[in-house]
């Protein structure tokens, strides 16, 4: 950063200026003084320390471990279950596609679907992400403005209700409407959970926790496949008054809505209104995350932080990765059952044989999350998941049709592909500060995710069945491009850390009391260190 020069400082609630991207020690001191004049502009965590009169709080290792165990016990189980349902509810369509959903509507309730073609199914798959895309930025603003726990619970209950409504659909238009609103309500879950994680955990703990709750996508794939297989076999043997695909939608939708009610009761908005922490432990739970230099939340929208997010190369690198990486995800997640059928297995077998892919995802996400926090290189370690996925897709493309088991093994390897996506999601939690900026970058990341998932199903054209070679080659190319983007993100974060280190070493640099709770962005705060 430039030394000895004073850069323009954005004074909150006065006049908006360009975001601070580089700053001398003198410029930083002026920024701090101006922000301190606007106490309402600080992070919500500042309220917990208003009457401390400068008292220093020391947290022993034993106390820190006790708090961490308590936080894990209360937060992680419900977050894991909800995130697993988030994945299951999206992919229920894939199971339904081979359980009678595509059949023409008829009077025979055991053989009645909504009568859709292959291309209509592709658009039905994509429609979820149109809803997600349309509501992603508004829902991120609402996550900032409204109580985080309560707003998240509302969305969980609503998306479960909407999913259950799919069982009442009788035509393509109705299915399109349900998929759109399912995307609208599910748009809050991933950015909301990233905010929960940054609120409650230190940077060194976040990668592992995000890896754990995201890994329940894999558990959901195992659970969903087994349930769908059980329903399909049971209906075939015993018969049913409802079509099998309707039973799947009803069961998953009602389960999700019930879990949403539990989430409403169990999940606090932040440490300050947490019913399962004592008053003393609430302060300690905030103090233990002081090292993050981020706080727990700020409800004021700040235009300069929005501008900084839109001008930050790191924001666009995150967006670009999500866009390109989720073209493969959109194709595989909606067509994996049909891919397995294309390997030479029956529809019922495809429901069962798809489940080991979930186990691969679980192992890679938890192992990479732990190793990234343990060794301090989340991005580099996440490369392993992407390289493994490329190998898996090469097996699917290159092996002959007769080699069913080899191509199925290739599909299992592709399920390691979310590893870098989760690593970058954890970096948004760790490496983006300023609450408006964080919610903006999270929205950008998930807008890229939506766009990629909209494009993905369109690469699997009906005329390319059963091999879908053009779609498979597209996936390989996308993953190779993603490797380059990951390398750039790693280099950029290292470069920014070196620039901040030079600012902190300047003779005139001053760190003010409670600087961590001033809702500064990562660019503004020289104390902020980017996680690699």
Q: Answer positive or negative: Cα dihedral of 313, 316, 320, 322.
A: positive
For the chain, the average pLDDT equals 83
- What pLDDT sits at residue 48? 62
Q: What is the mean pLDDT of residues 414-425?
A: 93
Choice between 8 and 376, residue whose per-residue pLDDT is larger? 376
pLDDT band at 18 (very low <50, low <70, confident <90, very high): very low
Among 50-54, 201-205, 295-299, 327-331, which stretch is predicted with the lowest mean pLDDT? 50-54
As given in the structure block, the two tokens for residue 440 are 């903006």
Q: What is the mean pLDDT of residues 216-238?
A: 81
Distance between alpha carbon 403 and the CA centroid of its chain, in Å? 35
Q: Which of 526, 426, 518 is nearest to 23 (CA)?
A: 526
Coil vs helix vs strand at 423: helix
Choice between 346 and 411, residue whose per-residue pLDDT is larger? 411
- What pLDDT sits at residue 27? 56
Q: At what angle do helices 203-238 and 355-375 cross, to 10 degrees?
A: 170
Q: Which of 41, 2, 8, 48 is nearest to 25 (CA)?
A: 2
Q: What is the mean pLDDT of residues 195-224?
A: 91
As given in the structure block, the two tokens for residue 170 are 């009788």
- What pLDDT sits at residue 509? 78
pTM, rounded to two decimals:
0.82
Residues 6+ apart with CB under 8 A from 283: 48, 49, 57
pLDDT band at 317 (very low <50, low <70, confident <90, very high): very high
Cα(332)–Cα(355) distance, rounded to whole angstroms? 14
Give the start-to-end residue ranges of the domains of the chain. 61-504
Q: Which residue has the tokens 């992070």?
A: 43
Q: What is the mean pLDDT of residues 137-145?
A: 91
**CATH number of the domain located at residue range(s) 61-504 in this protein:** 1.20.1250.20
pLDDT band at 435 (very low <50, low <70, confident <90, very high): confident
pLDDT tens digits, 329-386:
877 766 666 677 777 777 777 777 878 888 999 999 999 999 998 888 999 999 999 9
- What pLDDT sits at residue 518? 78
pLDDT higher than threshold 90 for residue 492? yes
Choice between 525 and 10, residue whose per-residue pLDDT is larger? 525
Q: Which of 221, 218, 243 is nearest to 231 (CA)?
A: 243
Burial class (CB in 10 A: 0-12, 13-18, 19+), 464: middle
pLDDT tens digits, 97-118:
777 777 666 555 555 668 887 6
As given in the structure block, the two tokens for residue 416 are 């390691």
Q: What is the mean pLDDT of residues 11-17?
A: 37
Residue 511 CB neighbours (<10 A): 14
| Dihedral Cα 181, 185, 187, 192, nearest 10 deg | 180
**267 to 73, 271, 282, 493: CA distances (angstroms):** 12, 10, 14, 33
What proportion of the chain, given as a percentage, has pLDDT over 70? 84
Cα(532)–Cα(510) distance, rounded to whole angstroms? 26
Q: Which of 97, 511, 513 is nearest to 335 (CA)?
A: 97
As given in the structure block, the two tokens for residue 144 are 């900032």
As given in the structure block, the two tokens for residue 213 are 């709750």
As given in the structure block, the two tokens for residue 337 are 């059952």
Residues 6+ apart with CB under 8 A from 246: 166, 167
Cα(406)–Cα(425) distance, rounded to whole angstroms? 32
């Amino acid at each position: 950063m430039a030394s000895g020069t004073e850069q323009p400082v954005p004074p909150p609630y006065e006049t908006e200026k360009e975001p601070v991207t580089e700053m001398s020690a003198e410029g930083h001191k002026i920024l701090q003084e101006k922000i301190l004049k606007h106490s309402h502009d600080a992070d919500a965590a500042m309220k917990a320390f208003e009457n401390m009169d400068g008292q220093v709080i020391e947290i022993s290792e034993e106390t820190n471990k006790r708090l961490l165990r308590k936080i894990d016990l209360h937060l992680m189980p419900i977050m894991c279950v909800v995130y697993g349902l988030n994945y299951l509810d999206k992919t229920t369509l894939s199971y339904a596609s081979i359980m009678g959903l595509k059949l023409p509507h008829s009077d025979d309730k055991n053989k009645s679907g909504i009568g859709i073609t292959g291309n209509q199914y592709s658009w039905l798959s994509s429609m979820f992400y149109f809803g997600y895309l349309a509501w992603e930025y508004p829902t991120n603003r609402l996550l900032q403005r409204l109580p985080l726990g309560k707003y998240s619970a509302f969305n969980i209950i609503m998306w479960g209700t909407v999913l259950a409504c799919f069982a009442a659909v009788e035509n393509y238009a109705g299915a399109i409407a349900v998929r759109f609103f399912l995307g609208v309500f599910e748009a809050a879950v991933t950015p909301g959970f990233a905010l929960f994680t940054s609120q409650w955990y230190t940077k060194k703990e976040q990668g592992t926790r995000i890896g754990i709750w995201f890994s329940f996508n894999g558990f959901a794939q195992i659970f969903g496949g087994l349930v769908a297989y059980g329903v399909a076999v049971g209906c075939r043997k015993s018969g049913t008054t409802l079509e099998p695909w309707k039973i799947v939608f009803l069961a998953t939708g009602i389960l999700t809505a019930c879990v949403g009610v539990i989430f409403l009761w169990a999940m606090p908005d932040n440490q300050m209104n947490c019913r399962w922490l004592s008053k003393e432990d609430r302060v300690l739970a905030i103090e233990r995350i002081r090292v993050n230099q981020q706080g727990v939340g700020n409800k004021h929208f700040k235009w300069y932080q929005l501008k900084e997010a839109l001008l930050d190369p790191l924001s666009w690198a995150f967006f670009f990765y999500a866009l390109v990486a989720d073209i493969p995800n959109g194709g595989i997640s909606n067509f994996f059952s049909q891919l397995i059928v294309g390997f030479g297995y029956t529809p019922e077998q495809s429901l069962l044989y798809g489940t080991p892919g979930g186990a691969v995802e679980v192992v890679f996400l938890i192992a990479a999350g732990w190793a990234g926090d343990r060794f301090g290189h989340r991005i580099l370690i996440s490369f392993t998941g992407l390289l493994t996925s490329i190998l898996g897709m090469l097996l699917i493309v290159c092996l002959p049709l007769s080699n069913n088991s080899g191509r199925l093994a290739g599909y299992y390897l592709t399920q390691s592909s979310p590893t870098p996506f989760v690593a970058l999601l954890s970096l948004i939690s760790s490496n983006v500060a300023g609450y408006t900026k964080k919610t903006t970058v999270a929205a950008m990341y998930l807008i890229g995710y939506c766009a990629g998932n909209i494009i993905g199903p369109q690469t699997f054209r009906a005329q390319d069945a059963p091999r879908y070679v053009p779609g498979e080659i597209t996936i390989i190319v996308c993953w190779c491009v993603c490797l380059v983007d990951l390398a750039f993100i790693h280099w950029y974060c290292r470069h920014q850390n070196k620039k901040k280190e030079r600012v902190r070493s300047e003779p005139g640099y001053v760190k003010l009391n409670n600087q961590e709770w001033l809702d500064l962005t990562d660019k503004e705060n020289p104390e902020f260190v980017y996680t690699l």
